[in-house]
Amino acid sequence: MLFALCPMLNMTLSELDIGILRLIHQHRIVAFDQLLYIISFTTSFISIGILLTILITSFKVRSKPLRIIFFKILAVFIVAATISLTLKTLIVRDRPFKTYPDIEKLSEAGSSSFPSGHTIEAFAIAVAFSLLIPKRKYIIAVFIWASLIAYSRMALGVHYPSDVISGMIIGSLIGWIVPLLIKINQPVK
């Protein structure tokens, strides 16, 4: 009875995945395609920019705790890239634009679709940054950026929602766990 009332519940996960992607991709505001492309392209530039800003600031204000934060976020960045590349090598999934002719490729895309490497990196950096530098204005900005990266990958037709959701989960776990594992003696204040 419930399945008859809601056709989405009667779909397989694969059908649901492409159905949601079609909804996002085919109902996007086409005038924003170039902006979404630029946002998607900023992933590593923003990540590296955040790292350099923290490093330069740590030397400018002579802050060892800030330098420790830099090394923790750098480790998050490296682990996120490594895990992303490893998973893409182990789990081969065609990009949606290769499988479904109605999905248009509007951005560069590497080999495997699963998981979204851009989303892993953005959420890993966002979570680590927000935990290590808990300033509300920065946290809001970094999560808006990470969410726009995730959305852009689907709107541009290069990732399924499951690729992006997995990237959000994996990236968030990396951003949370890696800094906890790095034990650097912080000076007594």
pLDDT (0 to 100) of residue 39: 93
With CA atoms as reference, report the closest residue to 123 among 81, 173, 82.
Answer: 173
Confidence of residue 99 (pLDDT cuts 50, 70, 90): confident
95-108 mean pLDDT:
87
Question: Using one digit for the tens of pLDDT, what is the confidence trace for 155-177?
Answer: 999 999 999 999 999 999 999 99
Confidence of residue 7 (pLDDT cuts 50, 70, 90): low
Structure tokens at 112: 């495997």
Question: Using one digit for the tens of pLDDT, what is the confidence trace for 123-137?
Answer: 999 999 999 999 999
pLDDT (0 to 100) of residue 32: 92
pTM of the model: 0.88
Instruction: Give the residue, 185 or 183, on which the prediction is more confident.
Output: 183
DSSP 25-59: HHTS-GGGHHHHHHHHHTHHHHHHHHHHHHHHHHH
Please say if the pLDDT value at position 73 is more than 90: yes
Please say if the pLDDT value at position 18 is more than 50: yes
With CA atoms as reference, report the closest residue to 77 among 142, 133, 121, 45.
Answer: 121
Identity (one letter) of the amino acid at 22? R
Q: Is the dihedral of CA 93, 94, 95, 100 positive or negative?
A: negative
Average pLDDT, the chain: 89
Q: Which of 56-76 are b and which e, b meaning 16 or more Cβ less than 10 Å from the residue's Cβ? A: eebeeeeeeebbbbbbbbbbb
pLDDT (0 to 100) of residue 6: 52
Instruction: Give 35's contacts (C-beta < 8 A, 6+ positions apart).
Output: none
pLDDT (0 to 100) of residue 2: 41
